[in-house]
Amino acid sequence: MKEHEAPAFTATTLTELAAQAIRHGMTWTVFRPEHGVFLAEGNGHTLRLKAQQLLDFEIIPDPPPKSKVLDHLYIPSPLVDKLFFGILPGYEPFHLPNYRIGSTAEVYTTMSSLDPTGSATKKIRDNRYPSFAPDCLFGFSDIIPLAAPMLRQYSSTIIRLPIPAQYTVGLLTHKEGFVVFRHRLNRFIASPRYVTERKDTRLYAPYIAFWVRDKYCELTERFPEWEDEVLANKQINNRSMEFLNACNAAWDYCTGHLFNLIRTYGKNFYRDLMAAHLKHAVNWWHQAWNRMRAGEARDNYGLRDYIAEGMHLYWDYLDLVVKEMQERGWSKVPEATLKDAWIVMVFRGFCWWRCHWMMEGQEMCVAPERLPSEYYEDSSEDARYLGEKEDEYVVVAKA
């Protein structure tokens, strides 16, 4: 260090500082790095940073609270830190990149990258209802459980994640989605067409849908919170370890099945399957309400009718997903394999959600707690002391 520089006790990147504040239950009410003005408050803490010079900040913490509330804690992970900035980490073994979803504009850009035709992005624009929830990007939110890696740790019940987008919940979260999926899966397996299609000797794991059905029933019998997100969300960071590990193990098995399909058919298999699903999933809200108005809604099993109809529509889209996959160059993959892969992918999404928590109760749209994605820096690089690199934001905590 140079002679005139004050000694530092710690040094960190701006990304790490921002994430640490939110991890401790604070919200950034002022976050303007370009002006050197910062203020984070909440959970009994206040974090103020005064810019004496552009890269020289002083941290003034309030005394810590007398007691810590477990539910304020987030999963401690560099991957989770990305969510604070509206960046969804993609699952690397499936060859998925990071997806920026923190703003509506970023959602449009991400959806366009998955569906170059632009039809899905247009549907997202058309489906926004300013009078109800202008930030509800119906169907697109499925990208969160379908693209992200498993972020919780087997040895921990800490499952809270920061909210990476304007809209995070969806049919893979709600009880209606679970229950209708179970009934439609049973109907799918019982159909004569299912048996006929499985006679194809080229199929990999031809009866994987039976495993999904049996595992689903097992989780339902063992854990009442499996189907019911309201019951599950009564326990956030103190959710049953047995339940979490059971869901995690089912997610692992599904991941193994899909990974084998990737190895068999090509590295972009899962990416295209997810993209094909999202392309049609964004239609469910509008079409569900149209069917209800026309008196064509199907059995909702005593649950919320429009959400139940949404999962019925997901099953209706299955043939369209298969067609989309064939148009994307996967015509040599047996149709039955494509359908089974979709079933496994959706079930895997259910498992992912039960291992994580983002929203409060039935809240649909949430106030943003994420920071602009342009301020994210890869924390894998070592933090540098003030003055070592002038073109990088570096925060120094002084005594």
pLDDT at 323 > cutoff 90: yes
DSSP 135-157: T--TTGGGHHHHHSPP-S-TT--
Which has the higher per-residue pLDDT, 172 or 375? 172
Q: Residue 363: what pLDDT?
A: 44
Which has the higher per-residue pLDDT, 336 or 381? 336
pTM of the model: 0.85
CB atoms inside a 10 Å sphere around CB 6: 11
pLDDT-derived band at 122 (thresholds 50, 70, 90) equals confident
Q: What angle do CA 20, 241, 149 make, to 5 degrees?
A: 55
Q: Residue 391: what pLDDT?
A: 36
Sign of CA dihedral 363, 365, 368, 372: positive
For the ranges 42-46, 114-118, 122-126, 341-345, the lowest mean pLDDT is seen at: 42-46
For the ranges 22-36, 178-192, 271-285, 327-341, the lowest mean pLDDT is seen at: 22-36
Q: Are 11 and 394 in contact (CB under 8 A)?
A: yes
Half-sphere exposure of 122 (CA within 13 A, CB side): 4
pLDDT tens for 205-240 read: 888 999 999 999 999 999 999 999 999 988 889 999
**Residue 324 φ/ψ, nearest 5 degrees:** -65, -40
Q: Residue 384: what pLDDT?
A: 33
pLDDT tens for 38-47 read: 888 877 777 7
What does the DSSP 8-state code read for residue 162?
Answer: -
Mean pLDDT of the chain: 83
For the ranges 28-32, 240-244, 247-251, the lowest mean pLDDT is seen at: 28-32
For the residues 149-171, what does the mean pLDDT come to?
A: 90
For the residues 27-36, what does the mean pLDDT come to?
A: 79
Which has the higher per-residue pLDDT, 201 or 159? 159
| Integer Cα distance of 273 and 92 in angstroms | 16
pLDDT tens for 353-399 read: 999 998 654 344 444 567 888 888 765 443 333 333 333 333 333 22
Q: Residue 104: what pLDDT?
A: 85
pLDDT-derived band at 11 (thresholds 50, 70, 90) equals low
pLDDT at 31 > cutoff 90: no
Q: Residue 176: what pLDDT?
A: 97
pLDDT tens for 49-107 read: 765 443 334 455 555 444 445 777 889 888 999 998 999 999 999 999 999 999 888 99
Q: Are 395 and 12 in contact (CB under 8 A)?
A: yes
Q: Residue 198: what pLDDT?
A: 83
pLDDT tens for 250-306 read: 999 999 999 999 999 999 999 999 999 999 999 998 899 999 999 999 999 999 999
| Integer Cα distance of 258 and 267 in angstroms | 11
